[in-house]
Amino acid sequence: MQLNISIIQLITICAVANGFIFGFLLLEKKENRFANRFLFLSLICMCLTFTPYMLDPSIWDTYKWLAWMPFSLSYWIGPSFYFYVRTLTNPSFLFTKRQLWHFSPLVLNYVHSIYHAIFPGSRTPWYWFHFVTELFESAAILSILIYMILSFKLVKKYQRQLLNNVSTITKINLQWVKKTILVIVISFVLISIFLFISSGISGKEFFYQWDEYRSAILLLYSCVLYWLSIRGYQQAQTIKISKPSDSIENLPDKESTKIIDQLHTAMVNQKLFRNPELSLASLSKSISVSERTISEVLNGNLNKNFYQFVNEYRVMDVQGKLKDPKNSHLKILSLAFDAGFNSKATFNRLFKTYTGLTPKGFKSQNLR
């Protein structure tokens, strides 16, 4: 039998192979070890679920036993990705037997297959039962959308908490996870729209439109697989974020002023901001003030989170050096790294936010 594989199918096959390879590589990665188990499961489920759609229909006609293979795992895509995000945003999270119910709907993936195993070919004696089994299988799309929304909320909450705990967020802010969620949601919404529209199409017209639509979906799905597997493998170890206290300390003005002076001294004299990994916990140890108290002083008295507070000193440090003619021969980026920045994009963005000028514009304006 001769196989005719299109470019789209070839790209999808490569994406699935890439997903399997990176999935197993994730199991060997030290960072986020527990979270990577869930990402591994997500990738394997996505690869297997879309395998039937990238194969030529003639293969299924020739090898009918393929219908019994456990390809359809779409009901596991949502929960496995959700628990990946949940573990990333909370490294101390422990998965227990109580949460296994999230994976129990997998049986709905196979009710339709079992029906056709009992009534092979075109025999559909129980039409409504057949319709319900198809409906159950298609409902996996809704399941995925729900878990993606829950995952998105976890990432948003984590990012807000991150700003109150660390001074550098480039490698751990999970921005790529947010983008992935949005793309997956859009993809499955488009699939749902097509399935709804196609319900009123029959015969050759349906298969013609499905073939074109399937190619677009497969291409998009391939990109998601590449992006998810590679970025997941690159993800740095996330940190455990201490939960903010519900109670608020009403510190006297004198005590608040004293703590602010301590913070200023630590930044100006000890140059703590030059440490790219400076965190609320490490600052707390340096000045012997509790993390909770520092957060309340920064947010309540200075109207700043920890991220803004530290990076403002970093920007001021670069500003001072750019004004000095003795540093005119030094590269701006080297000054930024010396000040505690570890990302060029973050430095440029924050510098313009605080000064209203780009680093180059500020330098040329002050060295005329």
pLDDT over 60 (residue 1): no
Residue with tokens 């790209």: 11
pLDDT value for 249: 59
Question: Token digits for 195?
Answer: 């399935």
pLDDT value for 109: 78
Helices and strands (H and E) in the chain: how many: 16, 0
List, in order of start, the domains of the chain with CATH numbers.
7-234 (1.20.1070), 253-366 (1.10.10.60)
Q: Is the pLDDT of residue 197 over 50?
A: yes
Question: At CB < 8 A and 24+ separation, what contacts does 266-275 make?
Answer: 267/310, 267/313, 268/313, 271/317, 273/167, 273/310, 273/311, 273/313, 273/314, 273/317, 273/339, 273/340, 274/314, 274/317, 274/338, 274/339, 274/340, 275/340
Q: What is the pLDDT of residues 31-74, one digit of tens each?
A: 999 999 999 999 999 988 877 766 666 666 666 666 556 677 88
Question: What percent of the chain has pLDDT above 70?
Answer: 80
pLDDT the model gives residue 3:
56
Give the per-residue pLDDT at 199: 55
More confident residue, 158 or 203: 158
Burial (CB < 10 A; 0-12, 13-18, 19+), residue 40, is buried
- Mean pLDDT value of segment 223-249: 81
pLDDT, residue 52, reads 73
Q: Which residues contact 158 (CB under 8 A, 6 or more apart)?
A: 88, 89, 90, 174, 241
Q: pLDDT tens for residues 281-297?
A: 999 999 999 998 999 89
pLDDT (mean) for 213-236:
86
Which segment of 5-9, 31-35, 294-298, 320-324 scores lowest on mean pLDDT? 5-9
- Mean pLDDT, rounded, for 191-216: 59
Q: Greater confidence, 138 or 349?
A: 349
Lowest mean pLDDT among 8-17, 81-90, 307-316, 318-327: 8-17
Residue 352 confidence (pLDDT) above 80: yes
Could you tell me if 147 and 78 are in contact, meaning their C-beta atoms sit under 8 angstroms apart? yes
Which of 167, 115, 160 has the alpha carbon at shortest distance from 137?
A: 115
Question: pLDDT value at position 366?
Answer: 75
Question: Higher model confidence: residue 56 or residue 215?
Answer: 215
Could you say which DSSP state residue 96 is in? Answer: -
What pLDDT was estimated at residue 208? 47
pLDDT value for 164: 92
Q: What is the mean pLDDT of residues 225-250?
A: 80
Compare 185 and 208 and report the one with higher pLDDT. Answer: 185
Cβ atoms < 10 Å from Cβ of 202? 9
pLDDT at 189 (0 to 100): 78
CA 57/CA 289 separation, integer angstroms:
67
**What are the helix (H) ranges across 235-279?**
253-268
Report the chain's mean pLDDT, rounded to a whole number.
84
What mean pLDDT do residues 171-190 have? Answer: 88
